[in-house]
Chains A and B, each alone.
Chain A
Amino acid sequence: MDLFLIAARAVHFAATISLAGVFVFECFIAAPVSARAGDRNAVPARLGRHLVRLAVISLALLLVSGAAWLLAIASNMSGQPLAAALLDGAWLIVLTQTRFGEAWLVRVGFAAAIAICVVIGRRRGWAVTARWAALLFALPLLAGIAWAGHGAATPGAAGDLHLAGDILHLLGAGGWLGTLLPFTLLLIEARRDGDAPSLASAGRAARRFSVLAFVSVALLLFGGFVNTWFLAGTVPALIGTGYGRLLLAKITLFLATLVIAAVNLLRLSPRVAAAGRGAGARVLVWMRRNALAEAALGLAVLAIVAALGTLPPGLHAEPGWPFPYRVEFAGLSLAVKVAFALSLAAGGAAAVATVALAAAGRYRTMAACIATGIVAAGVLWLLLRPALEPAYPTSFYAPAEPYSAPSIIAGAAVYTANCALCHGASGKGDGPAAAGLPVHPANLTEAHLLAHTPGDLFWWVGNGKGNGAMPGFAATLTPADRWDVINFVRARAAAVLSHDIDATLSGRAVAQVPDFAFEEGGTQHTLNGLLRNGPVLLILTDEAPPGGRLTALAAVGHTLTEADLTIVALETASAVDEASRPNLTAPLFATAASAIAPILASFRSPGDGGETELLLDRGGFVRARWTAVNGNLPDAARLADFAKTLARLPVAAPSHPGHSE
């Protein structure tokens, strides 16, 4: 069934691109070139008949494959087999009640309008009007495919930009891939006559085609760049998932197509007009073969695109990392990062220039570019060597359990039962069995713990570490258990490390407070829900009712609200009588649920006195910390200042929410 969907999509994309390409070619290449050639040349008339035939075939394929696509989508959405989706009328629901159906109907309307234009265009005197009208309908017909895509489904501004990127990408495909066949037809007809006016026309067409191809490829690249940028994937996802590898295959094919295009543009196109009669005809044959090869590669690209869009969620899974090392960019200094970016750009530019110069036949300059590329690659290697870290197949797994209270509470129990014997109840590597071990167990409360990816920890918990010094628990702990214990260990390390954060705003996001839920005045809140509105000042206190600090903050509540700062005060020592709660409006005051209270309380340190204040950025990371004891509690103006700075910071790589699949 998926094969049916992929085939329908591939044919539909190819037919739509081909149809749009015919009219782009007629309006911007065939018509201007014919106008120059006048009546002495028979090429335009024959070409015109070919193009009408190509348009009719494309239109027919487009409608048939469009119907097949609709049926396949109806089957997919309703979860029924194809035949049932047809007979039960699921296709009718898709057509009338979904965004896909809406876009489909509008696009069929455009196709019908194009059919009318083709018929009218055969009447004397109507050709020009019909041609431009058909182009006017063909472009939205092509761009409309984007409404069946991811961009149209993503909410907000990011979705709009993605949609715009998709549209530019599609129009670029129509302008380049779609005009390859018409261009080939023109070359065939010019070669058939082979006389001077035909060759001159072909030369002019080739030059115009070059410009068109450049504009189109630029649109294609820009659109592709924009829509991938806003989806912010990662290198591991590209190499490690089926989806990413298919995308790499698509980009490789596209690059191969670009190389062929470069040969046509830089080497063959200038020779058409310059060469004599016989030589010119031979050049046309070469250009034709190249254009057909480009079109064939283009079809392969479309087949991959058709498959990419149908990949089931299973392939949206965790990226397996195939290499024993990864690059840890966080540890590199700014100067090294800049040098890295520069040498990467230099190496890339050298590679591209090498291909372009080879295509143009300028081999000496090409050699210089190759040398530059080798130097850049050497510099890259030298820069990256110190940043290489050991990596494991699971290094880039996102935690399957969210970094939140339920997982951490479950993880604490897993830790006590399996880990405390060696690593100790406190996690400092001082468990009862530690002294007798040849390799001392790791201290799990030091900065190195958070420097490893959660995926690294997942590998060690499952498979062991240090040649058997630590056993693997894959046989005894389920993956969910392992993620729970990792969340617990990370939360504890974050708590310990947060003790060193001071009252000035830290530039680094290290210690992340886990998500937890609490109830205040009958309303349920979660920390992450509050962080969506802006930074949070988390006040951990063992005083009940809370002291003068909360009353003081409540008095200047509106200043802090204007800065989008939410204040949450949590009592972590004992239960608080609801009735004795002071009447505070700005800060949320609640008692932490008994299960998560010990974790939150560990963010306090023994010398803190009655309360500890943690300023959290929008990712939940502690960016500043102060207590009443050290006497530098910030006033409202300073707090608002901090909050405004934090609101501008990008959210540091959040741990991915677990997919509830």
Chain B
Amino acid sequence: MVAVMRETILAASAAVLMASASIEPAQAHAFLDHASPAVGSAVPTAPATVAIWYTQDLEPAFSSLTVTNQAGQRVDLGNAQIAPAQPNELQVGLKPLPPGTYTVTWHVVSVDTHPTQGTFTFTVGGG
């Protein structure tokens, strides 16, 4: 009887294992989830901040965010920080932006230690 039970348990656990084999643990790094202004968007009026939400929580000591204009000059206020109650949101203040296309460059480390980086653009006005 005990032997039968042992086999049943073994069979059940291996079945669970096989089921789990079909699923992959992934998402090992913080990826951009969404941003404001949205990635690639055209906004009619100049935003006061750029905020990016990531798929994972971030390490403040190793995460940065800069915004440049088409001439490559910094237009952010250099105060990039993790939002107080939102450890997966990185934000930075902006100088008043004239119409044009701006490039956001980010470099973050998620709390599970993995660095990722990326860029995107948004356009202010007419465009």
| Interface bits B84-116 vs A (CB < 8 Å: 1, else 0) | 000110000000000000000010011111111
The verdict on A237 contacting B26 (CB below 8 Å), with A225-B19, A348-B18, A661-B116 known, is: yes
User: Is the beta-carbon distance between B115 and A79 smaller than 8 angstroms?
Assistant: yes
| Residues in A neighbouring B29, C-beta threshold 8 A | 313, 316
User: Is the beta-carbon distance between A660 and B32 smaller than 8 angstroms?
Assistant: yes
| Residues in B neighbouring A566, C-beta threshold 8 A | none
User: Is the beta-carbon distance between A345 and B28 smaller than 8 angstroms?
Assistant: no
User: Is the beta-carbon distance between A313 and B11 smaller than 8 angstroms?
Assistant: no
User: Is the beta-carbon distance between B20 and A247 smaller than 8 angstroms?
Assistant: no
Q: At the interface, yes or no: A460 with Cβ under 8 Å from chain B?
A: no
| Residues in A neighbouring B47, C-beta threshold 8 A | 524
User: Is the beta-carbon distance between A233 and B30 smaller than 8 angstroms?
Assistant: no
User: Is the beta-carbon distance between B60 and A402 smaller than 8 angstroms?
Assistant: no
| Interface bits A588-615 vs B (CB < 8 Å: 1, else 0) | 0000010000000000000000000000
A229, A262, A311, A517: most-surrounded residue (chain B CB, <10 A)? A517
| Residues in B neighbouring A78, C-beta threshold 8 A | 62
B23, B31, B40, B61: most-surrounded residue (chain A CB, <10 A)? B23
User: Is the beta-carbon distance between A221 and B16 smaller than 8 angstroms?
Assistant: yes
User: Is the beta-carbon distance between A229 and B7 smaller than 8 angstroms?
Assistant: no
Q: How far is the CA of A345 from the CA of B11 in the complex (A)?
A: 11
User: Is the beta-carbon distance between A519 and B19 smaller than 8 angstroms?
Assistant: no
Cβ contact of A153, chosen from B6, B16, B44, B57, cutoff 8 A: B57
Q: At the interface, yes or no: A406 with Cβ under 8 Å from chain B?
A: yes
The verdict on A345 contacting B111 (CB below 8 Å), with A234-B24, A352-B10 known, is: no
Q: How far is the CA of A215 from the CA of B48 in the complex (A)?
A: 56
User: Is the beta-carbon distance between B10 and A99 smaller than 8 angstroms?
Assistant: no
User: Is the beta-carbon distance between A356 and B119 smaller than 8 angstroms?
Assistant: no
| Residues in A neighbouring B110, C-beta threshold 8 A | 153
Q: How far is the CA of A404 from the CA of B116 in the complex (A)?
A: 24
| Residues in A neighbouring B109, C-beta threshold 8 A | 77, 98
The verdict on A517 contacting B38 (CB below 8 Å), with A77-B115, A222-B16, A313-B29 known, is: yes
Cβ contact of B26, chosen from A222, A229, A316, A360, cutoff 8 A: A316
Identify the closest chain A residue to B14 (Cβ). A352
Cβ contact of B120, chosen from A97, A247, A357, A660, cutoff 8 A: A660
| Interface bits B42-63 vs A (CB < 8 Å: 1, else 0) | 1111010000000111011110
Q: At the interface, yes or no: B25 with Cβ under 8 Å from chain A?
A: yes
Identify the closest chain A residue to B13 (Cβ). A221
Q: At the interface, yes or no: B9 with Cβ under 8 Å from chain A?
A: yes
Which residues 113-162 of A have a CB within 8 angstroms of B?
148-150, 152-155
Dominant secondary structure at the B interface: mixed
Q: At the interface, yes or no: B1 with Cβ under 8 Å from chain A?
A: no
Q: At the interface, yes or no: B77 with Cβ under 8 Å from chain A?
A: no
Q: At the interface, yes or no: A264 with Cβ under 8 Å from chain B?
A: no
Q: How far is the CA of A101 from the CA of B23 in the complex (A)?
A: 30
Which residues 40-74 of A have a CB within 8 angstroms of B?
73
Identify the closest chain A residue to B20 (Cβ). A225
The verdict on A313 contacting B111 (CB below 8 Å), with A77-B59, A228-B20, A233-B23 known, is: no
| Residues in B neighbouring A524, C-beta threshold 8 A | 36-37, 41, 43, 47
Q: How far is the CA of A551 from the CA of B112 in the complex (A)?
A: 50
Q: How far is the CA of A244 from the CA of B22 in the complex (A)?
A: 10
Cβ distance B20 to chain A, nearest Cβ, rounded Å: 4
| Residues in A neighbouring B59, C-beta threshold 8 A | 77, 97-99
User: Is the beta-carbon distance between B32 and A229 smaller than 8 angstroms?
Assistant: no
Cβ distance B112 to chain A, nearest Cβ, rounded Å: 4
The verdict on A517 contacting B41 (CB below 8 Å), with A316-B28, A353-B11, A356-B10 known, is: yes
User: Is the beta-carbon distance between B62 and A221 smaller than 8 angstroms?
Assistant: no
User: Is the beta-carbon distance between B32 and A659 smaller than 8 angstroms?
Assistant: yes
B25, B28, B61: most-surrounded residue (chain A CB, <10 A)? B25
Q: At the interface, yes or no: A248 with Cβ under 8 Å from chain B?
A: yes
The verdict on A406 contacting B40 (CB below 8 Å), with A150-B25, A150-B27, A349-B11 known, is: yes
Q: At the interface, yes or no: B71 with Cβ under 8 Å from chain A?
A: no
User: Is the beta-carbon distance between B42 and A152 smaller than 8 angstroms?
Assistant: no
Q: How far is the CA of A237 from the CA of B113 in the complex (A)?
A: 23
| Residues in B neighbouring A356, C-beta threshold 8 A | 7, 10-11
Identify the closest chain A residue to B9 (Cβ). A214
Q: How far is the CA of A364 from the CA of B111 in the complex (A)?
A: 54
Q: At the interface, yes or no: A368 with Cβ under 8 Å from chain B?
A: no
Cβ distance B89 to chain A, nearest Cβ, rounded Å: 10
User: Is the beta-carbon distance between A360 and B3 smaller than 8 angstroms?
Assistant: yes
The verdict on A76 contacting B113 (CB below 8 Å), with A155-B88, A265-B6 known, is: yes
| Residues in B neighbouring A357, C-beta threshold 8 A | 7
User: Is the beta-carbon distance between B61 and A225 smaller than 8 angstroms?
Assistant: no
Q: How far is the CA of A235 from the CA of B24 in the complex (A)?
A: 7
Q: At the interface, yes or no: A224 with Cβ under 8 Å from chain B?
A: yes
Cβ distance B41 to chain A, nearest Cβ, rounded Å: 5
The verdict on A247 contacting B25 (CB below 8 Å), with A77-B115, A149-B112, A356-B7 known, is: yes
Identify the closest chain B residue to A353 (Cβ). B11
Cβ distance A219 to chain B, nearest Cβ, rounded Å: 10
Cβ distance A479 to chain B, nearest Cβ, rounded Å: 16
| Residues in A neighbouring B38, C-beta threshold 8 A | 404, 515, 517, 526, 529
Q: How far is the CA of A238 from the CA of B43 in the complex (A)?
A: 40
| Residues in A neighbouring B37, C-beta threshold 8 A | 517, 524
| Residues in A neighbouring B40, C-beta threshold 8 A | 402, 404, 406-407
Q: How far is the CA of A232 from the CA of B26 in the complex (A)?
A: 8
Cβ contact of B15, chosen from A229, A352, A519, cutoff 8 A: A352
Q: How far is the CA of A77 from the CA of B56 in the complex (A)?
A: 15
User: Is the beta-carbon distance between B62 and A348 smaller than 8 angstroms?
Assistant: no
Identify the closest chain A residue to B44 (Cβ). A519
Identify the closest chain A residue to B10 (Cβ). A356
Which residues 293-326 of A have a CB within 8 angstroms of B?
309, 311, 313, 316
Identify the closest chain B residue to A238 (Cβ). B24
Identify the closest chain B residue to A522 (Cβ). B45
User: Is the beta-carbon distance between B57 and A155 smaller than 8 angstroms?
Assistant: yes
Q: How far is the CA of A94 from the CA of B114 in the complex (A)?
A: 13
Chain A residues within 8 Å of B, Cβ to Cβ: 73, 76-79, 93-94, 97-100, 148-150, 152-155, 214, 217-218, 221-222, 224-225, 227-229, 231-235, 237-238, 241, 243-244, 247-248, 251, 254-255, 258, 262, 265-266, 309, 311, 313, 316, 345, 348-349, 351-353, 355-357, 360, 402, 404-407, 515, 517, 519, 522, 524, 526, 528-529, 593, 657-661
The 9 closest A-B pairs by CB, nearest first: A233-B24, A660-B118, A153-B112, A352-B14, A406-B40, A153-B56, A225-B20, A97-B61, A99-B111
Question: Can you list 13 A-B contacts (CB < 8 A)?
Answer: A97-B61, A98-B62, A150-B27, A154-B56, A155-B56, A222-B16, A231-B25, A233-B24, A316-B29, A349-B15, A352-B14, A402-B39, A660-B31
Starting from the known contacts A150-B25, A251-B17, A659-B32, 12 additional A-B residue pairs (CB-CB under 8 Å) come to: A94-B61, A97-B61, A100-B111, A148-B113, A228-B24, A229-B20, A238-B24, A349-B15, A517-B37, A517-B38, A526-B38, A660-B119
